[in-house]
Amino acid sequence: MTITTSTHTAPVVRTVDAVHRLGTIVGVWAHPDDEVYLSGGLMAAAAARGQRVVVVTATRGEHGTDDPGRWPPARLAARRGEEIAESLGALHGTIEHRFLGDARGRCHLDGALRADPGEDTVDELAAVLADVAPDTVLTFGPDGITGHGDHRAVSAWTDRAVGQLAGTTPRLLHACVTARWVERFGEFVEPMDDGDDAFAPFPAERLAVELELDGGVLARKVAALRAQATQTAALEAAFGSARYVDSVAGEYFRPAGTS
């Protein structure tokens, strides 16, 4: 399905001072930590300007560990629920968060998301979007950036949910990387590469959002990442803090429907 955004203009956001152009923002992601890696600085800057920012997460990330003995699924799910709350608080205290499935008592399983989850899931997400009425929706593109199946599924869910909205639909933006980012941080790509089209760079001149964070906004993003230590501490330790911080300073989004 091709998503159109009817009457919304398409300003390019290249500085944190320009995030006001995105209006009310909803981010739809697969796992806790996706949101802060891909849009933490953008969210922090927007919330600080008084914009409403809502994060929707599909799973609790209960299988996101190389040490299941220490972190069995139930324990890790509970901890990651705490971590995302602490993380979003580190970005800005007004950022809202919702797990999909909570209203029905049916959590979505980490690693098991399907592109066609059934109408209940899509309807639930569409209801969230209708309730918040965002100007901009941020999510994965069909490639899921890393190729992860859960990321790809959430992209499909969001496309369908946006397509159900009546009236003017929000501007839909897909997370991506640039050729310069891949060139500079290739060592981060291989551990997260889950597909043949993973980390396919998008031309910088066609981006809708191209942020290079620094100063206080970058510091907030790094603090938010460190709050999700079950997912971030080992990576930062492996590559060194300076290199890790440099690698998360860029946030890039392309208009949906572009490739």
Query: With 50 as the cut, is the pLDDT of residue 8 above it?
Result: no
The model's confidence at residue 7, banded by pLDDT at 50, 70 and 90, is: very low
C-alpha 171/C-alpha 144 separation (Å) is: 18
Per DSSP, which regions of 34-114 are E strands? 53-57, 96-99
Structure tokens at 24: 């009310």
Exposure string (b/e) for 95-114, b if CB count within 10 Å is 16 or more?
bebbbbbeeeeeebbbeebe
Average pLDDT estimate for 150-155: 97
Whether domain 16-255 has CATH 3.40.50.300: the reply is no
DSSP SS3 for 146: coil
Percent with pLDDT over 70 in the chain: 92
Domain residue ranges of the chain, discontinuous segments joined by +: 16-255
C-alpha 92/C-alpha 256 separation (Å) is: 27
